[in-house]
C-alpha cells in the first residue's frame, strides 16, 4: 500500500497554550513522519477555501475569526493509513466528550464559546487531504 499523507493543523488555541510540542510528540511516537512544517497566519481567503464545506453554517464566521486569532502550525504528515490514524489520535470534535488518551480528550477544554476550540485539525479523507495540502502547502 502506498504511504498516505494528511494535513494536520495545530489551531491557534494549541499554539497559544504551548501544546505544539506535545502534539508533534504524539504524531512522531505513533510512527508517522513529519514531511513539512510551518507557522502560518492564515488569511480569510485561505480559510474560506479550507472550510468551504462549512460555509453557511452557524459556526462558520466564528470559526474563521477563531482561526485568524493567532498563528497556526501546518504540518504535512506521512504514514500508512495516516488520515484515519491521525483522526483517531485527535479524538472526536467536542473536547468535553473526546476520549481520554486522545489529543482533544487529554488537552481540550470547553471555553463556553460558539466554536469548539479543539486544538487540531486533520484531513478526513484522501480527497480532503489532497485538496487541503494544496491549499496550505501550495
11 known ligand binder: yes
Q: Work out how close the CB of 18 gets to ligand RTP at its nearest, in angstroms, rounded to a whole number.
A: 19
- Full strand arrangement of the beta sheet holding 72-79: 33-40, 72-79, 4-10, 120-122
C-beta closer to ligand RTP: residue 93 or 97: 93
Inter-residue contact 23 to 103 (CB < 8 Å): yes
**Is 87 annotated as a binding-site member?**
yes
Q: Whose Cβ is closer to ligand RTP: residue 84's or residue 124's? A: 124
Tell me whether residue 99 or residue 114 sits nearer to ligand RTP (CB atom).
114
Task: Tell whether residue 86 is among the known ligand binding residues.
Answer: no
54 in active site: no
Report residue 3 as a C-alpha cell.
504511504
CB of 111 to ligand RTP, least distance (A): 11
66 assigned to a ligand binding site: no
Binding region for ligand RTP (CB under 6 A): 59, 63, 93, 114-116, 118, 121-122, 124
Give CA–CA dist 69/16, Å, rounded. Answer: 10
* Least distance in angstroms from the C-beta of 120 to ligand RTP: 7
Q: For residue 60, how far is the Cα from the chain centroid? A: 16
Catalytic residue among 121, 129, 132, 136: 121
In a 3-state reduction of DSSP, which class is residue 18? coil
16, exposed or middle or buried, with CB in 10 Å at 0-12, 13-18, 19+?
middle
The phi, psi pair for 20, rounded to 5°, reads -55, -45
Give binding residues as ranges: 11, 59, 87, 93, 104, 118
Give binding residues for ATP as ranges: 11, 59, 87, 93, 104, 118
Q: Which residues are catalytic?
A: 121
Amino acid at each position: 500500500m502506498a504511504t498516505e499523507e494528511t494535513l494536520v493543523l495545530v489551531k491557534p488555541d494549541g499554539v497559544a497554550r504551548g501544546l505544539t510540542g506535545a502534539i508533534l510528540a504524539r504524531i512522531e511516537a505513533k510512527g508517522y513522519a513529519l514531511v513539512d512544517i510551518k507557522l502560518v497566519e492564515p488569511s480569510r481567503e485561505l480559510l474560506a477555501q479550507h472550510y468551504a464545506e462549512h460555509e453557511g453554517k452557524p459556526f462558520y464566521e466564528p470559526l474563521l475569526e477563531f482561526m485568524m486569532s493567532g498563528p497556526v502550525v501546518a504540518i504535512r504528515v506521512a504514514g500508512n493509513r495516516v488520515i484515519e490514524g491521525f483522526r483517531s489520535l485527535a479524538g472526536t470534535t467536542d473536547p468535553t466528550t473526546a476520549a481520554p488518551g486522545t489529543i482533544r480528550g487529554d488537552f481540550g477544554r470547553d471555553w463556553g464559546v460558539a466554536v469548539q476550540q479543539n486544538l487540531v485539525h486533520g484531513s478526513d479523507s484522501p480527497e480532503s487531504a489532497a485538496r487541503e495540502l494544496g491549499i496550505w502547502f501550495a
